[in-house]
Amino acid sequence: MNPTTTPSTPPLLLTLGDANGIGPELVCRLLSEEPQCRASLRLGLIGPEAALVAHCERLSLPRFWTPLPADNPDALAASPPGVYLLTPPRLAGLPVTPGKETPAGGLAAGESLEYATAVLARHPDWGIVTGPLSKAALNAAGFAFPGHTEFLAERSGVGPSGVCMHLCGPVLRVSLVTTHPPLARVPSLVTYDRVALCLALTWDYVKRLGLTDKPVAVCGLNPHAGEGGLLGSEDEAVLRPAVAAAVAKGIRAMGPLPADTVFHRAVGGEFSAILAMYHDQGLPPLKMLHFRETVNVTLGLPFVRTSVGHGTAFALVGTGEADTGSLRAALRLARRLTGGEGDA
């Protein structure tokens, strides 16, 4: 990772996620293994210091961060390139038990997000990379959200219906019309308005990446994209009109297309991104190809948000088996989307 930070490049925030999960360990390993990253990024870690100290001591790593006062996060923008730590007041002295799922870990994740969204409300040009959290621990700590996406959407004022989940790797980029509902509910959630919004947000995203020379492929909901209505009516009644309306507005899009061949075509370079209708339609091909370097991006927020594409992996904490590739890729993409130069 060789990003270039200029005086005009905004800082990045990085939440440690669940304090007991794999996030703090990956942060310590990545930022210790790649000192050039510390020298060229203005990075504000958010979370309890004890979570970092525990892993640095276990791995015999030097402390690589500089604490900043939590009541003055704006000091990050005036600081030279480096890694800084902002500890929300409720997390000062928080006990950590790496590898154990506890409400304290959920408190660390939730308070870090509350703090980060307050900072981003004042600095929407900054970006955020989020470490993994446990939905169960988050809720046990009193934060009634199913995950990062819903939390950030509500706190930013956009609302869950105004965002779109997108996951990507070096080759495939996949947006999801629905996220985690039971499969039986998916058809009722694939509406004209929802498809239109996710298609527009995906097109805006690929424009930022400079990939407008290729269309966004829209997956059919049913096998063979409905086979002209023979295998289901949704593709003709909902998806085709939504795609046609998007094309009329200047969005390059094709579909609905059979999902069993569209990913092969995308790997061959035919499409800039894919809009899938549901989680297990879009993500198995992506993770088969990019399991160790998947990045989660929330489209539609007023600020850049990327995340690792994996969970808390409590069982891997301390084993050295967890890979830093997804965190590295999430930082690289966030830097690119916030205007950083070079290979971020």
156: exposed, middle or buried (C-beta count within 10 Å: 0-12, 13-18, 19+)? Answer: buried
What pLDDT sits at residue 23? 97
What pLDDT sits at residue 339? 87
What pLDDT sits at residue 41? 85
Global pTM reads: 0.92
- Dump pLDDT digits (tens) for 239-264: 999 999 999 999 999 999 999 999 99
Of all residues in the chain, the percent with pLDDT exceeding 70 is 95
* Per-residue DSSP letter, 213: T
pLDDT at 4 over 70: no
Name the pLDDT band for 40 (thresholds 50, 70, 90): confident
Name the pLDDT band for 153 (thresholds 50, 70, 90): very high
- Dump pLDDT digits (tens) for 75-93: 999 999 999 999 999 999 9
Name the pLDDT band for 104 (thresholds 50, 70, 90): very high
- Dump pLDDT digits (tens) for 107-126: 999 999 999 999 999 999 99
What pLDDT sits at residue 147? 87
Over residues 212-219, the mean pLDDT reads 97
The amino acid at 174: V
Q: Which domains does the chain have, with CATH numbers?
A: 2-159+300-343 (3.40.718.10), 164-286 (3.40.718.10)
How far does the chain reach from its first CA to its final CA, in angstroms?
Answer: 6
Burial 101-138 (b: 16+ CB within 10 A, else e): bbbbbbbbbbbbbebbbebbeebeebbbbbbbbbbebb
pLDDT at 237 over 80: yes
Over residues 30-48, the mean pLDDT reads 85
Phi, psi (deg, nearest 5) at residue 166 = -135, 135
What pLDDT sits at residue 33? 82
What pLDDT sits at residue 198? 98
What pLDDT sits at residue 9? 83
Average pLDDT, the chain: 93
Name the pLDDT band for 284 (thresholds 50, 70, 90): very high
Over residues 210-216, the mean pLDDT reads 96
Q: Which two tokens stand for residue 296?
A: 């989660």
Own/partner long-range contacts of 155-158 (Cβ < 8 Å, ≥24 apart):
155/113, 155/114, 155/117, 156/117, 156/120, 156/121, 156/301, 156/302, 156/303, 157/302, 158/300, 158/301, 158/302
What pLDDT sits at residue 146? 84
Over residues 101-105, the mean pLDDT reads 97
- Dump pLDDT digits (tens) for 165-209: 999 999 999 999 999 899 999 999 999 999 999 999 999 999 999
What pLDDT sits at residue 341? 52
What pLDDT sits at residue 72? 93
pLDDT at 319 over 50: yes
